[in-house]
Amino acid sequence: MHGMTLEQLRTSVQAGGVRDVTLRGEGGSFLVEIATGTDAAVLVKARSTEPRRFRTPTSAMMVLRGVGIDEARLDARDWDPTRKDRSRARDSRAEAMRRAHRAAAHADWLAGEIAASIDDPRPNIPHDVVMADLEADLAALPDGPDDRSGDGGPDP
C-alpha cells in the first residue's frame, strides 16, 4: 500500500478514480485507506510518507468532505481508545507555548530597554564621537586593534 497526500486524493476524487474509503482504527487513532481502480493507498502527511492519523472518525470525515468524499466505511476492529497517543501533540503544543512566552518576554524586555533609553536624561552622544573614542581605545591596546588571536602575540 502506498501513500497518497490530500492533494493527490483531491485530484483522484475529481477524476473519479476513488472507489472506496475506509476509516481504519489502529491503536488510539484512525487512518484513511483509499481504494482506487487499480491500487490501495493510505492518506499521508503533506511532506512525509508517515500516515496521517486522526483522533476521531469525525475529524477524518471533515477532511474527506473537504475533498468531495461523502461516504466512508468504518473499521474499528483494531481501534483501542485507551491507547490514544496525546503526548506528542501535547508536547509539541507545550513547546510552542514556551516559545511564544519567551518571545513575549523578550519583546517586553526590549520595549522596556527602548523606553528607558528614550527617557534617559543624559545628553546623546553622536555616533561619530563614540566610534572615534572606540578607535582611540583600541589603538591604545598593547598589540593594537588588529590583534584578534587572543594570545597577545603577533598576528599569523
pLDDT in tens, 117-152: 889 999 989 999 999 999 999 999 987 556 555 555
Q: What's the pTM? A: 0.54
Q: Which amino acid is at 8?
A: Q
What average pLDDT does this structure show over 67-79? 94
Rounded Cα–Cα distance for residues 156 and 144 (Å): 14
What proportion of the chain, given as a percentage, has pLDDT over 90?
Answer: 68
Q: Check pLDDT > 80 for residue 56.
A: yes
- Which pLDDT score, from 0 to 100, does residue 77 have? 95
DSSP for residue 48:
S
Rounded Cα–Cα distance for residues 101 and 109 (Å): 12
What domains appear along the chain, each with residue ranges and CATH number?
2-83 (3.30.720)
Rounded Cα–Cα distance for residues 28 and 126 (Å): 65
Rounded Cα–Cα distance for residues 71 and 65 (Å): 9
Rounded Cα–Cα distance for residues 44 and 99 (Å): 28
127: helix, coil or strand? helix
- Which pLDDT score, from 0 to 100, does residue 19 have? 94
- Which pLDDT score, from 0 to 100, does residue 134 have? 96
Q: Check pLDDT > 70 for residue 90.
A: no
Is the pLDDT higher at 94 or at 130? 130
- Which pLDDT score, from 0 to 100, does residue 93 have? 77
What average pLDDT does this structure show over 11-19? 93
Residues 6 or more apart in contact with residue 25 via CB below 8 angstroms? 74, 75, 76, 77, 78, 79, 80
- CA 63 vs CA 70, 113, 141: distances in Å: 10, 47, 68
- Which pLDDT score, from 0 to 100, does residue 144 have? 52
